[in-house]
Structure 1
Amino acid sequence: MTVEEGRVQRIGATEAVFRRLKSLIQSEEYAVGDRLPAELALAQQFGVSRPVVREALHACATLGLTETRTGRGTFVVSKKESSQLTFAGVDAEDLIEARQLIEIPTAGFAAERRSPNQLQRLVEMLGKLAAATDDHEWVRYDGELHTAIAAASGNKMLATLVADTRRALDIQSEFLNLTQDRRADSDREHEAIVRAIEVGSPEGARSAMAEHLERVADTLARIGE
């Protein structure tokens, strides 16, 4: 995905618009306190739809660069990304630590205890993730896959803990997919987890889940660089 002559080219439009907006905000063109052009004007400038611009602006707000004020527009509030990303009020680092403690052993238990029906659902979820045509749809299936893995662990407490993290994690997942193009990598990592569960390998499932969470953590760490 590239940006040529101010217009976004083909795939990865939201990520391209996000990167262009971030570059503009951090350039001399805008100062803290300045109001950005309206969504429609930005959409025309970049040659994309308003929903694409809206998602990109939301990503800028997540980084602490902008703030949208109802009835007034979107304003630059910082030239530097926040060093501490939060999703639904939860620090990204806290999310990763919690997931490592909960989801890695959960994947191992799923490999030991999953039923044929639970395994079938996990495989079906891989297919839905691969076929998803919309990022929001993909995020929903991502959450359903992780909660299904937890259910397959046979531990109701772990299943509840995984489900309780999804409000923040769905926002994080959407942010990473829209701005960092994580979807294809996540699909491969998810498949590795499910295949390890399928063959009944607790060690393989734990390793695959650990790898998935490490990749997510690495991506988050690179955003502010």
Structure 2
Amino acid sequence: MADWLNEKAPIARKNAAEVVFEDLRGSILSGQVPVGSRLPSEEKLARTYGVSRPIIREAMRSLQTLGLTRSRSGSGSFVISTQQRSELAYGDISARDLDEARPHIEIPAAGWAALRRDAAQVRELLHLCDQMDAHVDSLKWVQMDSDFHTLIAAASQNALFARIVSESRDAMMQQSELVNLLAHRRVASNDEHRRIAQAIAAGSEADARAAMADHLDLVKKAIARITQA
């Protein structure tokens, strides 16, 4: 373990989470870091890779989602497998459950948002699209992605849709992190988000529903490719 970590060098800030994640995942899948090993602390990994602790935290969450590591309270993270599991989970919400539920909530929410949104919500949706286009920082992008979907649920003026999306935020952010790290969908997602926002701005229920359905379907397919890899 010590030799493995000593070989690492600080990495460039751009796409830092992706680089850290791929390096850690590769070390685990290759057996270089065997099952039962305790990974170094966030602080030590951050110092070794030359990145912030939130970047390390993002990479570690995705390793857990893939079933490669498990966090033990007060003890750290341990390698539990050198093979990715086929059934992913975001905390206590399975990937299957999230994929099945989102279309039944977010597609109608987008349609209602097109009919019920106010001018301030339209401005904020389009502003978030501009911000996501401009940001390369993965942590900030994931937060804005979450804000985007939460705002649409709020704009639907359906309290139940808004509550479910809000309560699912952590799982949706973990899904977004994983898809960004493994499927490289950020640019495509930006285009899909803008289509959704423009349909809502235009007041087109049908177009908003169709754009959200396309987006969620592509995310689901990306997750399926990750689990089959």
- TM-score (norm. length: structure 2): 0.80
Determine the structure 1 residue equivalent to 2:51. Answer: 49
Give the residue type in structure 2 aligned to 1:17: V
Alpha-carbon distance change, 159 to 43 in structure 1, aligned in 2, over 3 angstroms: closer
Determine the structure 1 residue equivalent to 2:222. Answer: 219
Q: Deviation at 1:138?
A: 2.4
Determine the structure 2 residue equivalent to 1:97. Answer: 100
Alpha-carbon distance change, 197 to 38 in structure 1, aligned in 2, over 3 angstroms: closer
Q: Deviation at 1:41?
A: 6.5
Runs of at least 5 residues in structure 1 that lack an aligned partner in the other structure? none
Q: Deviation at 1:40?
A: 6.6
**1:188 paired residue among 181, 188, 191:** 191
Would you say how many aligned residue pairs link Structure 1 and Structure 2? 220
Alignment of 1:10-159 (within 5 A): 11-36=14-39, 47-49=49-51, 51=53, 52-69=55-72, 74-132=77-135, 134-159=137-162
Q: Deviation at 1:178?
A: 4.0
Alpha-carbon distance change, 108 to 86 in structure 1, aligned in 2, over 3 angstroms: same
Alignment root-mean-square deviation, CA: 2.7
Q: Deviation at 1:116?
A: 2.4
Distance 1:29 1:218 in 2: 30
Structure 1 contact 26–80 (Cα < 8 Å) conserved: yes
Aligned to 1:78, the other structure's residue is in SS state coil
Distance 1:137 1:171 in 2: 13
Q: Deviation at 1:60?
A: 1.5
Give the residue type in structure 2 aligned to 1:182: R
- TM-score (norm. length: structure 1): 0.82
Structure 2 contact 13–51 (Cα < 8 Å) conserved: no
Structure 2 contact 62–174 (Cα < 8 Å) conserved: no
Structure 1 contact 15–180 (Cα < 8 Å) conserved: no
1:97-151, CA deviations, whole angstroms, 9 ceiling, x for partnerless residues? 1110011111112222222232222222223333446433322222222122122
Q: Deviation at 1:77?
A: 0.9
Structure 2 contact 110–205 (Cα < 8 Å) conserved: yes
Aligned to 2:82, the other structure's residue is in SS state coil
> Identity of aligned pairs, percent?
43
Structure 1 contact 14–179 (Cα < 8 Å) conserved: no
Distance 2:42 2:88 in 1: 24
Please state if 1:169 is matched with 2:172.
yes
Distance 1:38 1:146 in 2: 33
Structure 2 contact 63–69 (Cα < 8 Å) conserved: yes
**1:207 paired residue among 198, 204, 210:** 210
